[in-house]
A and B are shown apart, each in its own frame.
Chain A
Amino acid sequence: AQKITQTQPGMFVQEKEAVTLDCTYDTSDQSYGLFWYKQPSSGEMIFLIYQGSYDEQNATEGRYSLNFQKARKSANLVISASQLGDSAMYFCAMTFNYGQNFVFGPGTRLSVLP
């Protein structure tokens, strides 16, 4: 069965520094997608970045990059130059069932300190 693990329930980072949020996954599928979402206190889920299992290069979107290590089944999110507005819950997710369904990890709460 598909499973996402996020081992860091909470993380602190100083403003303007970089931070890495860990995500490991378990699947027997060869084709899958990996996603990161941000959930601020308002509750909305904001899509950040996507990595396909066959993508050879790590995905990047502005200050977000995904460190994809397929053999280790990890898809860590790197946020560069942290801002106070980055404080939120961050969820790693993956698709399964031919992309119809998602499974989410338990999340990591990131707090950016001034």
Chain B
Amino acid sequence: SQTIHQWPATLVQPVGSPLSLECTVEGTSNPNLYWYRQAAGRGLQLLFYSVGIGQISSEVPQNLSASRPQDRQFILSSKKLLLSDSGFYLCAWNQGVSQETQYFGPGTRLLVL
């Protein structure tokens, strides 16, 4: 069966510091991968998605970036965090079949101080 992991689970970072969040999927190959951000009490905002190694599409211009160095690894990064980057970051995957469900990881809670 497929599983999706995210780490760290919780992160507290000062403004201006760098960021690296990691997401990995097990039990499948060539998945579509997604990064979402959820502000407190709000819905999900799609940040990036990837249909393959090195292929990244950005949905929202901001100081975040994403990379996919391996088939089942998706990384969310920032060179300098802003206060507004605080939130709950969720990684998701599916197989890329039309209208297919996305399956989510456990999420990372980021607090920027």
Binding site for B on A (CB under 8 A): 31-33, 35, 37, 42-45, 47, 50, 52, 91, 93, 95, 98-107
Contacts and interface: CB of A to CB of B under 8 A. Distances in A.
Contacts, number: 63
A110 to B, nearest CB: 14
Interface stretch (B14-22, B61-69, B75-83, B92-100): B92-100
Contacts of B43: 91, 104-107
Interface residues of B, number: 25
Nearest to A92: B43
B49 interface: yes
Contact of A98 (B90, B98, B109): B98
Contacts of A91: 43-44
B104 A45 contact: yes
B99 A99 contact: yes
A44 B44 contact: no
A52 to B, nearest CB: 6
15 contacts: A31-B99, A33-B98, A37-B104, A44-B104, A44-B106, A47-B104, A50-B101, A91-B43, A91-B44, A98-B98, A99-B99, A101-B49, A102-B34, A102-B46, A102-B102
